[in-house]
């Protein structure tokens, strides 16, 4: 299966525009961006916490 072309992206955009309306699209985009940032912070925080826990064990 290949990637959708420009025409398919336009069709998808117009369907989303019809479903949610022009006023809601920026709100949806900003909330999606915020949630992705929070997910990245949380994921990186878990990795950092695991590394901190492992380092003292290796030093002993």
Q: What's the pLDDT at 22?
A: 87
Identify the band that residue 53 occupies on the pLDDT scale cut at 50, 70 and 90: low
Q: What's the pLDDT at 34?
A: 95
Residues 6+ apart with CB under 8 A from 4: 12
Q: What's the pLDDT at 8?
A: 93
CB-CB contact of 17 with 25 (8 Å): yes
Identify the band that residue 2 occupies on the pLDDT scale cut at 50, 70 and 90: confident
């Amino acid at each position: 299966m290949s990637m959708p072309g420009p025409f398919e992206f336009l069709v998808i955009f117009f369907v989303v525009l019809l479903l949610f309306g022009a006023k809601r699209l920026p709100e949806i985009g900003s909330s999606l961006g915020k949630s992705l940032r929070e997910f990245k912070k949380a994921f990186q925080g878990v990795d950092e916490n695991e590394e901190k826990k492992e380092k003292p064990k290796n030093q002993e």
